[in-house]
Structure 1
Amino acid sequence: MGPNFFTNYYQVFGVILFGIGFTALFLHRNLFKKVIGLNIMDSAVYLILASSGYIDGRAAPIVVDGITDASAYINPIPSGLVLTGIVVSVSVTAISLSLIQRLYREYHTLDLDEILMQSSKEL
């Protein structure tokens, strides 16, 4: 382990979470597990973005006590990106789960191979 491991543990944990989500997304055939893997990947990206915008010893970018020097505050852009990403992620998850529900009603399974096989028989 390098000397920056303990100072960048949020990024290391984010990369590990991303790997777990990526593995779940590509190895599982169950559509619900794929959505869970996608959500884990989203959370990892948000963790990496939020941790990259934080600087130890700095405050939130709200002017207090007349301090207007930019070096006293953290960067607000990653926080805004994380909030926007969370809203988009919730929307994508809701649409994905509703589509999965419709597929289950139609094919009575959540296995992607079974759905593809049954849909090819219908053609």
Structure 2
Amino acid sequence: MRYALLMHYREPAAGELSEEAVAEAQQAFGAYAHALQKAGVLLSADVLRPTDGTTSVTRRDGTLQVQDGPFAETKEALAGVFLLELPDLDAAIAWAEKCPGSQWGTMEIRPVATSFLDGAWAR
């Protein structure tokens, strides 16, 4: 099944992050993307199901929290998306926990409703 990992976190103000912090984040996300690619689970864009199928994952203070529903705080914004092909929600949660974005924001997991594959829409 396809899952979208949606990163929600507060957007930093201009100049709030040092160039070093940005470079470290880029390196962490690069390593994460390579791990997804090496595992053979990284895909492309799709249309998502409604939010009632959403599960939210956070790992603040080193503690994994899993909640049903889109519970990202309103001050947080969608910052990026990883689209994955995975066997089940548990696998999606495991990958969401490993994402660098889970350390400072919320990873929303949403099952995909339809995908445009080989020239046609499929469920």
**TM-score tier after normalising by the smaller chain length:** under 0.3
Structure ranking higher in strand proportion = 2
TM, length-normalised to structure 1: 0.25
Largest Rg, 1 or 2: 1
TM, length-normalised to structure 2: 0.25
